């Protein structure tokens, strides 16, 4: 009975999506802010009987908002962060940039039925277009208004996120199945996303702009994430052995 309820709830979205998304294009500007506080980190580590490094606390205190951009048409989308800090144009490393994807380029091919990929060029000496796992969402009937649009809540269910599951708010009024980073596949544009340590909030929505949006597929060898991970481990065994030891020490 629960499954039938979810399916019937999605049907109006899918019909609206298929009819309205044929020629839609746009550019979305998101503000990205850190949603992690020193108090939260101290509380968590106290429960785990661990000491919080002052270096990490300083990074939290020094984090600054940044802007990121999503461009899309009826076939593709491109997502890329702006590595400049909001309002000052200074380029520095901070936790907000890390949560936003740093300087990685995220490419989606008709995300409602196709695939998400990340362009990786630094690790193996050439560019790979690394296919990501297909998104799995659980949509609820919980709603709120964002930027004048009625949005629905959806929780990301992919097993890569074992602890804190990302939460998206999407609007069927903009029938573009896109969002920041790898978070796509919903029957409507994501206007707000809480992903691990950062929150994305759409602050500017440009639909069907006068200057036509043209998205070209990035050049790179296409590969699955599983195969890419195998290649990187073979190329950098010392790094991954050190990482594994670090993770094991955290568990103990």
Distance (Å) of CA 211 to CA 25, 39, 206: 11, 46, 11
Average pLDDT over residues 130-146: 94
Mean pLDDT of 229-252: 74
CA atoms of 213 and 73, how far apart (whole Å):
7
Over residues 88-116, the mean pLDDT reads 76
Crossing angle of helices 225-235 and 237-251, in 10° steps, is 100
Between 75 and 16, the higher pLDDT residue: 75
pLDDT at 3 > cutoff 80: no
- Report field, pTM of the whole predicted structure over 0.85: no
CA 56 and chain centroid, separation? 23
20: exposed, middle or buried (Cβ count in 10 Å: 0-12, 13-18, 19+): middle
Residue reference for tokens 């594994």 = 244
Q: Model confidence at 47, in pLDDT bands (50, 70, 90)? A: low
pLDDT at 70 over 90: yes
Best CA proximity match to 62, nearest among 93, 102, 20: 93
Place of tokens 């609206």: 16
**Residue bearing tokens 């195998």:** 230
The pLDDT tens digits of the residues spanning 25-42 come to: 999 999 999 987 777 777
Quick one: which of 73, 226, 207, 64 has its CA closest to 149?
A: 207
Choose between 252 and 135: higher pLDDT.
Answer: 135
Assign 3-class secondary structure to 136-203: CEEEEEEEEEECCEEEEEEEECCCCCCCCCCEEEEECCCCCCCCCCCCCCCCCEEEEEEECCEEEEEE
**What span, in angstroms and rounded, lies between the C-alpha atoms of 62 and 156?**
29
First-to-last C-alpha distance (Å) of the chain: 43
pLDDT band at 61 (very low <50, low <70, confident <90, very high): confident
Q: How far is CA 91 from the centre of its chain?
A: 21
Query: 252: how many CB neighbours lie within 10 A of its CB?
Result: 4
- How many other C-beta atoms are found inside a 10 Å radius of the C-beta of residue 3? 7
Q: How far apart are CA 223 and CA 13, in angstroms?
A: 32
* Cα angle: 78, vertex 173, 137; to 5 degrees: 65
If pLDDT is split at 50, 70 and 90, which confidence band does 138 have? very high
Does residue 85 or residue 198 have the better pLDDT? 198
Do 82 and 69 form a contact (C-beta atoms < 8 A)?
Answer: yes
Tell whether the model's pLDDT for residue 135 goes beyond 80.
Answer: yes
């Amino acid at each position: 009975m629960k499954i039938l309820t979810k399916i019937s709830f999605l049907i109006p979205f899918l019909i609206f999506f298929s009819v309205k998304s044929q020629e839609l294009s746009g550019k979305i500007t998101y503000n990205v802010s850190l949603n992690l506080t020193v108090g939260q980190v101290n509380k968590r580590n106290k429960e785990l009987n661990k000491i919080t490094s002052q270096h990490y606390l300083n990074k939290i205190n020094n984090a600054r908002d940044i802007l990121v951009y999503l461009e899309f048409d009826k076939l593709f989308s491109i997502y890329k962060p702006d590595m400049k800090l909001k309002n000052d144009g200074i380029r520095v490393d901070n936790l907000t940039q890390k949560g936003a994807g740093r300087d990685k380029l995220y490419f989606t091919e008709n995300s409602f039925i196709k695939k998400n990929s990340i362009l990786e060029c630094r690790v193996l000496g050439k560019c790979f277009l690394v296919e990501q796992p297909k998104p799995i969402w659980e949509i609820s009937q919980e709603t709120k208004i964002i930027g004048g649009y009625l949005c629905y809540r959806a929780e990301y269910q992919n097993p890569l996120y074992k602890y804190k599951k990302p939460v998206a708010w999407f609007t069927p009024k903009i029938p573009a199945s896109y969002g920041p980073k790898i978070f796509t596949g919903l029957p409507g544009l994501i206007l707000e996303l809480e992903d691990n340590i950062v929150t994305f909030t759409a602050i500017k929505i440009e639909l069907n702009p006068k200057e036509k949006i043209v998205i070209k597929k990035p050049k790179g060898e296409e590969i699955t994430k599983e195969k890419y991970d195998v290649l990187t481990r073979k190329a950098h065994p010392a790094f991954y052995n050190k990482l594994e030891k670090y993770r094991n020490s955290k568990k103990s």
